[in-house]
């Protein structure tokens, strides 16, 4: 389950119980700010919270402000609040956050109640599906809106964001819910299961492919967004959309050498953002030698990362997943 989906599911659950929730969103971040645009957290009436807007004393202070809102029922609890918080991470700043790492950020605090349930349910559903409309937050509402049109954006970990401020507490925050990090794991064994569980927490949209319908690790994999049984790896190229090719991350970890070779041959020449193959140095040296003999260029082979992952002397599926995740994150953030 992705970080974003967990947060929205948390909010839906509390609103369905008739409780109020305060949503905190980093709308803008500059310099060495610990929170980046798009970071979110939610605080429930009982004090429980989920997510993070960067941590540290500045987060603690804003959580306490959210809790004080929720403790104050006001006029029967029917009036909800929205506030923009300017923070400067420096001593003696005009709006000090309590941190000294330099940089600035603007945080939205928005109280949500039962009247927002339908919108939040739609947002949670879209997070699970992973593409399409945009999340829109203003001082007066929270909603989904159709994709399309031109808008100024700033980058963040999950996708593009637009933030415009018209007054002290008048603003428009727009976040694309398109999938920006599609991860295709070809082979659904133990390493794929461990990698799915890890990458699902990092904002990746995960698709698993395997030709073994009765594989127990496929049945256990509740972290992937899609699990697809393929009749033959000979057809694997048709399952990887061409329209997100430049943004796609490919990890090949099938049952063995023969099926790895089939997948590599079928995907060679396509320009993925990341193309990695799990295998020992000896195995991959043999495979690359065969491919060269078949006329595959060195340029095409150089596009494949293998042995996959950063060298941390990993052994277990979970350790291997960490090494692969670290390499993918390095590519994503480069």
279, 260 Cβ separation under 8 angstroms: yes
Candidates 127, 111, 60; CA nearest to 87 is 60
Residue 293: exposure state from Cβ atoms within 10 A (0-12, 13-18, ≥19): exposed
- Which tokens sit at 312? 């941390």
Using the structure block, give the residue that is written with the tokens 């956050």.
97
Supply the pTM of this predicted model.
0.69
Q: For the chain, state the CA radius of gyration.
A: 23
- The pLDDT profile of the chain, 334 residues, written as one tens digit per residue, is 567 888 999 999 999 999 999 999 999 887 766 678 888 999 999 999 999 988 888 788 899 999 998 987 654 444 568 888 886 655 554 555 454 456 778 999 999 999 999 999 988 876 655 556 788 999 999 988 866 554 445 555 545 788 998 877 789 999 887 656 899 999 999 999 999 999 988 878 899 999 999 999 999 998 898 899 999 999 999 998 776 667 899 999 999 889 999 999 999 988 899 999 998 889 889 999 999 999 989 998 999 999 899 999 999 999 999 999 999 999 998 8
Quote the CA–CA distance of 199 and 181 in Å, as a whole number: 10
Domain coordinates in residue numbering, the chain: 3-176, 182-333
| Sign of torsion over alpha carbons 163, 136, 79, 54 | negative
- CATH topology for 182-333 is Rossmann fold (3.40.50)
215, 191 Cβ separation under 8 angstroms: no
3-state secondary structure of 186: strand
- What is the rounded (10 degree) CA torsion for 86, 90, 93, 99? 60
Helices then strands, counting H and E runs in the chain, come out as 9, 14
Candidates 79, 77, 100, 72; CA nearest to 88 is 100
Order of strands, edge to edge, in the sheet holding 142-145? 142-145, 134-138, 171-176, 161-165
Quote the CA–CA distance of 158 and 155 in Å, as a whole number: 8
Using the structure block, give the residue that is written with the tokens 């295998």.
279
Quote the CA–CA distance of 270 and 42 in Å, as a whole number: 41
Quote the CA–CA distance of 147 and 126 in Å, as a whole number: 12
- Residue 27: alpha-carbon gap to chain centroid: 17
Tell me the pLDDT tens digit for each residue of 283-312. 889 999 999 999 989 998 999 999 899 999
At how many degrees (to 10) do helices 117-129 and 3-16 cross?
150
- Residue 85: alpha-carbon gap to chain centroid: 25
Quote the CA–CA distance of 84 and 108 in Å, as a whole number: 5
Quote the CA–CA distance of 92 and 299 in Å, as a whole number: 55
19, 45 Cβ separation under 8 angstroms: yes
217, 188 Cβ separation under 8 angstroms: yes
Q: Are strands 104-112 and 134-138 parallel, antiparallel or unpaired?
A: unpaired
Using the structure block, give the residue that is written with the tokens 């299961």.
193
Candidates 32, 48, 51; CA nearest to 40 is 51
């Amino acid at each position: 389950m992705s970080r974003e989906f967990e947060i929205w599911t948390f909010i839906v659950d509390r609103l369905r119980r008739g409780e109020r929730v305060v949503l905190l969103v980093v709308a803008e971040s500059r310099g060495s700010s610990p929170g980046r645009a798009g970071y979110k957290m939610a605080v429930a009436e009982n004090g429980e919270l989920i997510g993070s807007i960067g941590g540290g004393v500045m987060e603690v202070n804003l959580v306490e402000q959210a809790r004080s809102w929720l403790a104050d029922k006001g006029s029967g609890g029917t009036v909800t609040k929205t506030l923009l918080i300017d923070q400067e991470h420096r001593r003696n700043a005009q709006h000090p956050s309590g941190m000294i790492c330099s940089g600035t950020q603007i945080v939205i605090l928005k109280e949500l109640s039962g009247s927002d349930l339908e919108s939040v349910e739609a947002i949670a559903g879209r997070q699970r599906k992973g593409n399409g409309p945009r999340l829109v937050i203003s001082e007066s509402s929270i909603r989904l809106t159709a994709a399309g049109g031109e808008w100024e954006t700033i980058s963040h970990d999950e996708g593009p964001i637009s933030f415009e401020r018209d007054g002290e507490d008048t603003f428009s925050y727009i976040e694309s819910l398109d999938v920006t990090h599609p991860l295709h794991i070809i082979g659904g064994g133990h390493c794929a299961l461990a990698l799915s569980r890890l990458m699902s927490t990092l904002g990746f949209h995960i698709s698993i492919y395997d030709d073994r319908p009765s594989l127990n690790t496929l049945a256990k994999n509740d972290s992937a967004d899609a699990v697809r049984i393929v009749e033959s790896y000979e057809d694997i190229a048709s399952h990887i959309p061409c329209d997100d090719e430049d943004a796609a991350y490919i990890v090949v970890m099938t049952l063995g050498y023969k099926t790895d070779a089939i997948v590599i041959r079928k995907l060679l020449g396509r320009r993925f953002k990341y193309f990695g193959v799990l295998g020992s140095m000896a195995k991959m040296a043999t495979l690359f030698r065969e491919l060269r003999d078949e006329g595959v260029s060195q340029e095409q082979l150089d596009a494949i990362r293998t042995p996959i992952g950063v060298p941390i002397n990993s052994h277990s599926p979970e350790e291997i997943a960490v090494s692969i995740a670290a390499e993918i994150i390095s590519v994503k953030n480069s």
